[in-house]
Structure 1
Amino acid sequence: MNNRIKELYGYVTLTFKNLLINYQKERWNFLTNSTIENRKRLLNSVEEIQNFMDTDKDYKEIFYLLKKYQKNFSQQQKDTLLKIKKICDILQKTPQQEKHFDIFLSTAMDIINDRINFNNKDTTTSHLADLAEHETSLQEIISIQKHFFQPTQKFKDRIEKVVLEREEYIKSKNFKSYFEFFTKINGLKEKDIFKDIEKLDDLTREDFKKLKNQLEQELAKKLKLHAKSYPSYIFGDPFFRTYPVHLDNNVNTMFKGKDIAYTGKKFFDILGYDLSDVYEVSDLYIRPGKYPFIIDIDGNDIRFSVNTKSNFRGTYWLLRTLSKVVYILEKSKNKTFFERENIDRRKMETFGIIVTNFAFKSGLISRILSQYEDEEDQLSVDISDYLEKNNLILSRFFLSLSNFEIEINGSEKVSNFSDIWVKNVQKYQLIEIKDIFNKDGWALLDSIIMDPFSSIFEVEGFLLSKKLEKKIDFKNLKQKTFLKTIFEIVEKI
């Protein structure tokens, strides 16, 4: 009996490992080059896993034996087979699953490949957001944002359909809602999420209110706006996720023309972490048909896709991404494929925020960027104040988005996504509904379908990082052990 279990276990785990690695590679191919051919290859990789579950006799036998002779299995074998079973249950072929996958992949492909004609050139919403953030002409800001929001009508109904079909698919798996599925699969409690949203709201509301009032006055004066209220477009970024860079000359100029991909890698080199192997297999620069994300192929092969841009926003999100890559590598260290734990994204985002804040506040990023200048011009520029303002604004945006996602993914059927969106923008970003430039703008927040509830992990990350940063003595941390120290602190949460 034990020999048979050992033989079956070896075959099933090796076969499933290879199938799962192939699936991850095809996900990478699709999300970095969203073509019809790569979509077919991704679906085929899912079908291969489904066929293995449905037709492989050894697969069925090992789970039969596990159910009947549990005592003959080691704890490691039980844990590994349980992991495999959970993944298979999610991917099991059903009419609801096929319908959801089909509409999700076709919508995702169209979102990734979508382009907007602006000034007789095809461009992306991401590029238009960057332009709006830097623009100082009110007329130009309005023009840019009109173009930015053009795709809303194209995608609004389709994204609603993806969310609703996903809900039906998850209900077919005996969950009350997608939100319940999300909490259970991540080991979270709904009440704790609501509590943390409330905590971050309480912690940031008054500071944000004060900052927003100051910002409105300053922008109205600079943009020559004469109005009784302040339309949302004056903030530049279409979703008010950033502090306008044109109000801080250091931030507005220090990144221009710099190789941000090199800057990010150099920062981690200084901290004693070589990301050369990761960079070699990753997708770093702006090009059509790709989506920004991180993927763990097998615990050793970690890749990321980003659209590296020579501005604060591009640098900030690259550093956040690289920090998360480091976190995943540390979690996978000295572990076999199936021994790897599910990543706690609350901790991963917390680690990413703390490391990224340090990168700017320590002056390291400024000094790396200044290496491009003549020796006499090399200065360390302090942008800590801008970073704090930006983090405050960004955290309030994620409060809006997280609560919106919870409501549209709840057990109650939603009739109007836009009403829920503007309600949350008003509550958390303090923008009056009449002043919101485009009430259907949520349809351009592709994370809703591409990375559902990532906004909740952002809320958790901002909340936990605020708490931990107060206790960390950054001045006395050594550069070469900095990442290890922060990792250990975060892991104790």
Structure 2
Amino acid sequence: MTKERAFLDEQVPRIQLLERKMREAYWLAATTGEKKHEEQYARLLQEWMAWFADKGHHGRLKELLEGTDGTDPLVRRQVELLYNESQAYQMKPEEVAERAQLETEIESDFVNFRADYRGKKLSENEIKEILRHERNTYKRKDAWKASKQIGAVVADKVRRLARLRNRAAQRLGYRDFYAMSLALNEIDEAFLFSLLEDLKQQTDSPFSELKKEMDKKVAEPYDNVRPEGLRPWHYVDPFFQEAPCVYEVEWDSHFAGRQLEELAKQTFAGMGLEVESILDRSDLYEREGKSQHAFCIDIDREGDTRILCNLRPDTYWMGTLLHELGHAVYDQEHDPVLPYLLRRPAHISTTEAIAMLMGRLVKEPEWLKQVAGVPEEKLVEMEEALVKQSRLDMMVFVRWCLVMIYFERDLYRDPDQDLDSRWWEWVERFQFIPRPETRRAPDWAAKIHLGTAPVYYQNYLLGELMASQILHRLRQTFPDSPHPLVNNPAAGTYLKEHMFRPGNRRPWVVLIEEATGEKLDPRYFLEQFVVEDKEEKSTEKKG
């Protein structure tokens, strides 16, 4: 037995046990909001961090990594992943304890927070209902402000966390925690921001035109509000990360009174993917004390995959359910023969790609017809609006991602700067939404990711690019299918073989190239959602 394998055989079972207990505690904390489960999770998180922070483990991993050139590639990959994780937690014992405590506190703050709206305590779903239907501008403004109240609760904790994370990263020679996180997650920072600048330039003009058209429609129901007078509270989503439905598509009516779980089962069964057991283990409906967000969690990498949602019979939650189940099937369908450390997605962005691919189905005509049962004549009426709305949705999301990614890099460059103003500078630059007059509040901190899922948002954007590239490959592979993911079991087989079963045996850039036949290329995303059809333009010119 090699020294590398001996180390893995000795240490991985301990890591595996810790991670299972930690995820079980996290699940209980998220589904109940009870303090005892939050405290248990915090203790386990600290113990888990302590293993990776241990100088002896870190030194041994570095030594093993330097001598693994001739060893089994799967063994080397495991050592490499453990070393990268260990690098991220090279902190003093007291720093480990503080980081675990702060992250748990922030998570708890979000789980238990209910916004104070005109004397009433409201959930996120209830706030969104107001922003979806209320036509009184003052009430909307109050609801939007209420959605940001959590920011003031956690802002100081997020700054403390950023300073703490930076100190550890800088001791290792990194510029800051942001730079370290990208590097250890196998993302080249120069490549990423070159890609972002390109996406910004490619979407600046199309987004500007779409937003002007959208703002005219958004302003219509309000007396004395012109499009240029719109403010953040006039949009449905408090962060404007999702576009309002402005193209007269009655999305929600197709899901009213429906069991979303049944539609989800039918969707995945059509791809030859089983989700019923996942749903049986999951927690799907909102209640007091439960986390208001949605997530997927793989408890043990041995089949216990679950999702948390707060379902309501509408388009948003239908898409979210499909999204989270996309994560879940990725986790569930890994190759069970792989070692524990490799039984996970190649990267956060690759599992996001599958989740995005599934979530998009809710606005695909073929899915609406075959799964949701929308009559074909209705779809013909909706076709043009569907295309426009999907394009608007994606453009809005891309511009929102730019806000988060650029702001978070700034957060770690200087956690003590005027972040309140910096946030709105990026919102104005990327989302074209003016800062509300006299607004001085930590609106940025109302986004949970900054505290509990740091340096994450680029994975959503990379995931969207990958999703379009994967879809392009599926269309090439199944040219006779109206949509390759709708009632096509061969598509599920393709995803299992090319995306799910490889697990994390190779870096994500290699996986994407092997799965799609080429390196990550944003042109498929741009062709799908940004660039207008060249043939159509040519026809217009001839006419």
Q: TM-score range by the shorter chain?
A: 0.7 to 0.9
Find the counterpart in structure 1 of residue 242 from structure 2.
242
Structure 1 residues 240-297: Cα deviation after superposition (integer angstroms, max 9, x where no partner): 2222237635124222232223322221112211112222222222233324222223
Residues 182, 355 of structure 1: alpha-carbon distance in 2 compared, 3 angstrom cutoff: same
Report matched runs for 1:94-113 at 5 Å: 94-113=93-112
Instruction: Look up the SS of the partner of 1:409 in the other structure.
Output: helix
Q: Deviations over 1:445-489 (max 9, x none)?
A: 111112223321122233344455556357623511223446748
Q: Is 1:364 the equivalent of 2:373?
A: no
SS in 2 for 1:183: helix
Q: Does 1:461 align with 2:463?
A: yes
Counterpart amino acid of residue 292 in structure 1: A
Aligned to 2:491: 482
With over 3 angstroms needed to count, the CA separation of the structure-2 counterparts of 1:9 and 1:433, relative to structure 1, is closer
In structure 1, the partner of 2:422 is: 420
Secondary structure of residue in 2 paired with 1:151: helix
Q: Which residue in 1 is equivalent to 2:262?
A: 262
The 3-state SS of whatever aligns with 2:220 is helix
- Report deviation, 1:364: 2.0
Match of 1:162 in 2: 161
Q: Does 1:232 align with 2:232?
A: yes
How many Å separate the matches in 1 of 2:78 and 2:279? 30
SS in 1 for 2:284: strand
Query: Would you say how many aligned residue pairs link Structure 1 and Structure 2?
Result: 486
What is aligned with 1:406?
A: 409
Q: Judge conservation of contact 2:150–2:446 (CA < 8 Å) in 1.
A: yes
> Displacement, 1:198?
1.2
Q: Aligned equivalents of 1:134 and 1:360: distance in 2?
A: 21
Q: Which residue of 2 aligns with 1:281?
A: 281
**Gap change, CA 1:80 and 1:148, over 3 Å in 2:** closer
**Corresponding residue of 1:304:** 307
Structure-2 residue corresponding to 1:116 = 115
Task: Pick from 294, 297, 305 the counterpart of residue 296 of structure 2.
Answer: 294
Counterpart secondary structure, 1:285: coil
1:332–1:7 CA distance, 2 compared to 1 (3 A): closer
Structure 2 CA distance for aligned equivalents of residues 406 and 65 of structure 1: 32
The residue type paired with residue 279 of structure 1 is: L
Residues 190 and 254 of structure 1: is their aligned pair in 2 closer, same or farther, counting only changes over 3 Å? same
Write out aligned runs for 1:140-151 (5 A).
140-151=139-150
C-alpha separation between the residues in 1 aligned to 2:177 and 2:167?
A: 9
* In structure 2, C-alpha distance between the alignment counterparts of 1:445 and 1:205, rounded to whole Å: 24
Measured at CA, do residues 252 and 95 of structure 1 come closer, stay the same or move farther in structure 2, by a change above 3 Å? same
Deviation digits for residues 325-363 of structure 1, max 9, x if unmatched? Answer: 223334445423133355322333233323333453143
Instruction: State the shift of 1:427 in Å.
Output: 0.9
Q: Alignment partner of 2:371: what SS?
A: helix
User: Aligned partners of 1:359, 1:236: CA distance in 2, in Å?
Assistant: 18
Matched residue of 1:284: which SS? Answer: coil
Q: Distance in 1 between matches of 2:442 and 2:49?
A: 37
Which AA in structure 2 matches 1:243?
A
Whole-Å separation in 2 of the counterparts to 1:315 and 1:340: 28
What is the DSSP-based 3-state SS (H/G/I as helix, E as strand, rest coil) of the residue aligned with 1:195? helix
Amino acid aligned to 1:463: L
| Residue pair 1:134, 1:246 contacting (<8 A) in 2 also | no
* Aligned residues of 1:233 and 1:437 also touching (Cα < 8 A): no
Query: Is 1:129 matched with 2:128?
Result: yes
- Between stretches 7-16 and 274-283, larger displacement belongs to 7-16
Matches within 5 A, 1:191-202: 191-202=190-201
AA aligned opposite 2:32: N
Q: Which amino acid aligns with 2:201?
A: D
Looking at structure 1, the residues matched to 132 and 362 of structure 2 have their Cα atoms a distance apart, in angstroms, of: 22
SS at match of 1:176: coil
Q: Distance in 2 between matches of 1:484 and 1:417?
A: 47
1:392 aligns with 2:398: no
Match of residue 349 from structure 1 = 352
Partners of 1:54 and 1:181 lie apart in 2 by: 15
Query: Residues of 2 paired with 1:178 and 1:314: CA distance?
Result: 34
Structure-to-structure mapping, 1:28-177, within 5 angstroms: 28-46=27-45, 48-49=47-48, 76-88=74-86, 90=88, 94-118=93-117, 121-177=120-176
Structure 2 equivalent of residue 447 of structure 1 = 449
Q: Distance in 2 between matches of 1:226 and 1:469?
A: 41
Instruction: Tell me the C-alpha RMSD between the 2 structures.
Output: 3.7
- Percent identity reads 15
Counterpart Cα distance in 2 of 1:65 and 1:421: 42
Q: Following TM superposition, by how much is the alpha carbon of 1:402 offset from its aligned partner in structure 2, in angstroms?
A: 1.3
Equivalent residue, structure 2, for 1:338: 341
Deviations 1:402-438 (A, max 9, x none): 111121123x454111121111111111123356977
